[in-house]
Structure 1
Amino acid sequence: MTQTALARRVNSSKSQISDIERGKANPSAQLRSALDGAIGFGQLERLWDDLTGGRRPAWLDEIATAVQEAEAVYEYQALAFPSYLQTEGCARALIRSALPWLPPDEISARVRERMDRARNMDESLHPMLWLVIDRSLLSRRYGGPDATREQLAHIAALAERERLTLQVVPTDHPKHPGNSGSFRVLTMRDDPDIAYVESAEEGRVLTNSTSVARRRMLFAALQGVALDPESSLRAIHEEMKRME
């Protein structure tokens, strides 16, 4: 395709296409999207993120879809279990507390959507799941004792049937690699691996290979200081007994 033909297709100019080809100009987000549709086959945006550092804002639907399509998910959480592992009572309490301005029908819609994804994750064999949590998470009572007991029982059941590999980091460990916040690393089937990091205000997708490798390293460090899976499962059952 000539520069003129491509420019016409993406509503640009031959000179702008030429400047981009020669590295003299960066395409705008709108032009990148148009180029992706014309000749990128959906890969240009992903490659652009990788080359430029890949710290773009994450769309929740995008992340949820990536989790479902991944080969493996490695996640660390300090405050709540991942949304795809939550039970209804816990999910409703978390959504209502985090987004108190939402009307009840919108909260219910979000809960239903989250439960559909959790059900799919429960029934599917993929992706493989590795989860490291801070011990303090077990004592949080989102939705009250009954909802918490149901949530812990669900996690225990997943671990017992080896759908999930769970490890718990003791709260009194002197060196805690997870103090920078929650994150997950996704091993994809046909695409490069990605990482997703969370903050109080937003989540961001990391596609740069160095950034993803560092999150893998951090996850390995967390596994190193955490209890083994058997002891972690025992910690969940002990917490459930305290609630009786």
Structure 2
Amino acid sequence: MTSNKRTLIRYGREVQRLRHEAGLTQTALANRTQSSKSQISDVERGKGAPSASLRKSLDEYIGFGRLERLWEDLTGDGRPAWLDEIATAIQEADAVYEYQALAFPSYLQTEGYARAVIRAAAPWLSREELDTHTKERVARAQNMADTPRPMLWLALDATLLGRRYGGSETTQEQLAYIAELAKQERITVQVVPADHPRHPGNAGAFRVLMMRDTPDVAYVEDAEQGRVLTSSAAVTRRRMLFAALQGIALDPDESIKAVHEEMGNLENE
């Protein structure tokens, strides 16, 4: 596949780091790899895709296997996702279509809800690590709320509304936040009935990112990690799956009514 800008920047930063670690100047590395200083500079700044021969030489002299593995991870379909890469891609997208069944998307979480979800998923984190992760997530959520793009369309399994991360008060705050974003037309929400006999969301959470200047991508989640899908066939399949979810979901108005009904249930708990 054609390497996108984020891939080139990440690869270039690692080349620069390893060059410094080896104590080499750009000129010295260029001499060893039979390239030029300007080529090395372009690679390190993410300005150009390195040829296969240059990647091989860079890996031989400073990577020792690490640069080739990084390149494969960054450019292969189904590769592991870098969390900051996904966060950046969402900000740069024109539209995001996302299905979730366990928790609201991280970029739409309140502070209390984010802390509870992170703690539940990673109980081994120290208090300091938990604080750091929560702060980063809340900052991304605030940025998302303050900007008009990307367009956000969520398909949520109905069981998600009944989950009580952080307790009733925290959940109430989170649901109210989602309802307010929908009222402001910042997001569109559709709730998928959990008892539908042909529920198309059984493969797990995913999102499709409609990009401005680069090919569209999909991001899928499993129990251990997320994966980025870049092939047009894989992205198209996720678009079709999202359309199938929309087809059985409540309409946006009825979905927000469902959110308010759950808020009412919380008041009685």
Alignment size in residue pairs: 215
Mapping of 1:177-188 within 5 angstroms? Answer: 177-188=200-211
- Asked if residue 97 in structure 1 is aligned to residue 120 in structure 2, the reply is yes
- 2:174 aligns with 151
- 1:166 aligns with 189
Q: Displacement of 1:31 after TM fit?
A: 4.8
Mapping of 1:46-61 within 5 angstroms? Answer: 48-49=75-76, 54-61=77-84
- Asked if residue 199 in structure 1 is aligned to residue 225 in structure 2, the reply is no
1:175 is paired with a residue whose SS is: coil
Mapping of 1:26-45 within 5 angstroms? Answer: 30-31=67-68
- Asked if residue 116 in structure 1 is aligned to residue 152 in structure 2, the reply is no
2:104 is paired with a residue whose SS is: coil
Change (3 A) 1:184 1:6: farther
Q: Displacement of 1:89 after TM fit?
A: 0.8
Distance in 2, Cα, partners of 1:176 & 1:45:
32
Q: Displacement of 1:94 after TM fit?
A: 0.8
2:34 is paired with a residue whose SS is: helix
- 1:40 aligns with none
- Asked if residue 129 in structure 1 is aligned to residue 155 in structure 2, the reply is no
- 2:262 aligns with 239
Q: Deviations over 1:5-24 (max 9, x none)?
A: 8942399xxxx839x9xxxx
Distance in 2, Cα, partners of 1:33 & 1:67:
22
What amino acid is aligned across from residue 30 of structure 1 in structure 2?
Answer: L
What amino acid is aligned across from residue 8 of structure 1 in structure 2?
Answer: Q
- 2:6 aligns with none
Q: Displacement of 1:33 after TM fit?
A: 6.8
Distance in 1, Cα, partners of 2:206 & 2:194:
18
Report if aligned partners of 2:218, 2:235 keep a CA contact under 8 Å in 1.
yes
Report if aligned partners of 1:57, 1:202 keep a CA contact under 8 Å in 2.
yes
Change (3 A) 1:8 1:138: same
Which of 61, 72, 94 is the equivalent residue of 1:71? Answer: 94
What amino acid is aligned across from residue 17 of structure 1 in structure 2?
Answer: S
Which of 17, 33, 42 is the equivalent residue of 2:53? Answer: 17
Q: Displacement of 1:107 after TM fit?
A: 0.2
Report if aligned partners of 2:155, 2:191 keep a CA contact under 8 Å in 1.
yes
Report if aligned partners of 2:179, 2:260 keep a CA contact under 8 Å in 1.
yes
- 1:25 aligns with none
Q: Displacement of 1:97 after TM fit?
A: 1.1
Report the aligned-residue RMSD: 2.4
Report if aligned partners of 1:74, 1:130 keep a CA contact under 8 Å in 2.
yes
Change (3 A) 1:6 1:183: farther
Distance in 2, Cα, partners of 1:33 & 1:170:
41
Distance in 1, Cα, partners of 2:110 & 2:185:
18
1:133 is paired with a residue whose SS is: strand
Distance in 2, Cα, partners of 1:187 & 1:233:
25
- 2:244 aligns with 221
Greater RCO, CA 8 A, separation 6+: 1
Distance in 2, Cα, partners of 1:220 & 1:113:
31
- 1:8 aligns with 34
What amino acid is aligned across from residue 67 of structure 2 in structure 1?
Answer: Q
TM-score after normalising by structure 1: 0.82
Distance in 1, Cα, partners of 2:241 & 2:147:
27
Report if aligned partners of 1:7, 1:17 keep a CA contact under 8 Å in 2.
no
- Asked if residue 86 in structure 1 is aligned to residue 106 in structure 2, the reply is no
